[in-house]
Amino acid sequence: MSASNVCPWRRVALGDIFQIGSSKRVMQSDWRPQGVPFYRAREIVKLARDGFVENDLFISEDHFQSLCESGGAPQCGDLMVSAVGTLGACYVVREEDRFYYKDASVLLLRPKADLDPQFVRYAFLSKELLSQVEAGEGATVGTFTIERARKATIPFPPLDEQKRIVAALDQAFAALNRGRANAEANLEAAERLRQDALDASFSTIAAQSASVELQEAVHPDCGLSYGIVQPGDEVDGGLPIVRPVDLTQREIGLAGLKRIDPAAARGYSRTTLQGGEVLLCVRGSTGIVSVASQELAGANVTRGIVPIRFDPARVLRDFAYFQFRSSLVSNQIAGKTYGAALMQINIKDLRALRFLVPDLETQRDIVRKSEAVLADTQALCRSYQAQLSDIADLRQSLLQAAFSGQLL
């Protein structure tokens, strides 16, 4: 018999069972290098995920005490919910916690009914509640407001049933978390194996061959230039452009690319693609690399990408692709990357990267070995990624059962 047949469940709005609000404004000028931790949404997300956070923002003890006197400081049993960026990450305040939080970025839910806070924390992990968090009617994109939080609803059984469900989910999730940790460790090991094999191949070549500056290795017509600085808005049927966010697989095609007014590409003929270029990310996640498929001929790239074309009579494209993925080149890029808010590498440093150009037969041999290792490790990675997907699906199945009264 399901729990719903023996215990009266009802659906409640969070505003009916919680006092929901945010903090008093703390100005950036009030931040201190030490004192009482001050958390933004990103810290709450980490707390919700890991149970701890290494924080670098604080407010003074005196300031914290004044905020406590106003009743706005988090208390044991309160729920802290991220309200910008990653929405709906939920952390239950513990007895030993002592921190303050950023207004509007984090919501505080203080129980005003008899409930188990951990039951509601699990509700925030469910697709049913997250869909309300992320896509509420009339919602501002990327924000979970106090008003939307008050209107969000959850199934709500009596307290004894809440505690039973929490205990069952705690036990099940502990086992799933162990399985996820093992799969993640195996996935990391498979990726490390691939990288180690790639690095070993290029280390052997480096010991036998001299390197040249990248600008000397590319095709004479390749100027190693940035792409379009201001591509503008999406235009139906417009010019396809490749952005750093598109570099998610080895070969990039037309599918899913943003299209812009061709007029925005005037003056950027030097980065017009012919197909077959190595596409290197030079802003944000510097060093990420893909290859342009032949169907991208005539397309262009944005400011964050440099297209790199080689003379196939001297440098094989796939050899160049694997060399950019090796630590031999990626470490150079990391060493020349600068910036805080936006990481980037400038063109001068890019052109001066040291690049190996052995004979073509050696290049073909490296490509064959790298492809074989890539195929083997991709099979392993797919297996571990499937395990992680299965674990995520099982988590949601358990949550659905729990919040429909079917968890026995």
For the chain, give the percent of residues with pLDDT over 90: 84
Beta bridge partners of 79: 92, 109
Instruction: With H, G, I as helix, E, B as strand and everything else as coil, classify residue 48.
Output: helix
Give dist(CA 327, CA 340) in Å, integer.
23
Residue 3, token pair as written in the block: 């729990």
Which residue carries 């950027």 as its tokens? 268
Residue 407 has what pLDDT? Answer: 78
User: Of 64-68, 150-154, 169-173, 355-359, which gets the smallest average pLDDT?
Assistant: 64-68
Instruction: With H, G, I as helix, E, B as strand and everything else as coil, classify residue 276.
Output: coil
Beta bridge partners of 239: 260
Looking at the predicted structure, is the pLDDT value of residue 6 above 70? Answer: no
Give dist(CA 227, CA 265) in Å, integer.
9
Classify each residue of 230-256 as buried b or exposed e, where b means 16 or more C-beta atoms within 10 Å of its C-beta: ebeeeeeebbbbbbbebbeeeebeeee
Using alpha carbons, select from 216, 120, 231, 105 the residue that is nearest to residue 165. 120
**29-70 pLDDT tens trace:** 999 999 999 999 999 999 999 999 988 899 999 999 988 887
Instruction: Give the range with max mean pLDDT: 224-233, 338-347, 399-408.
Output: 224-233
Using alpha carbons, select from 94, 139, 137, 114 the residue that is nearest to residue 18. 114
**177-235 pLDDT tens trace:** 999 999 999 999 998 998 999 999 999 999 888 899 999 999 999 999 999 999 999 99
Backbone angles phi and psi of 290, in degrees to 5: -140, 180
Looking at the predicted structure, is the pLDDT value of residue 270 above 80? Answer: yes
Give dist(CA 106, CA 186) in Å, integer.
35
Q: Using alpha carbons only, how large is the chain's radius of gyration in Å?
A: 27
Q: Find how far residue 33's CA is from the centre of its chain.
A: 27
Residue 301, token pair as written in the block: 């790239």
Work out the average pLDDT over 373-380: 89
Q: Find how far residue 188's CA is from the centre of its chain.
A: 16
**86-128 pLDDT tens trace:** 999 999 999 999 999 999 899 999 999 899 999 999 999 999 9
320 close to 310: Cβ distance less than 8 angstroms: yes
Instruction: With H, G, I as helix, E, B as strand and everything else as coil, classify residue 379.
Output: helix
For the chain, give the percent of residues with pLDDT over 70: 96
From residue 311, give the alpha-carbon distance in Å to each of 156, 223, 246, 277, 328: 67, 13, 25, 10, 21
Residues 6 or more apart from 407 whose CB is under 8 A from it? Answer: 3, 165, 168, 169, 398, 401
Residue 279, token pair as written in the block: 């596409």
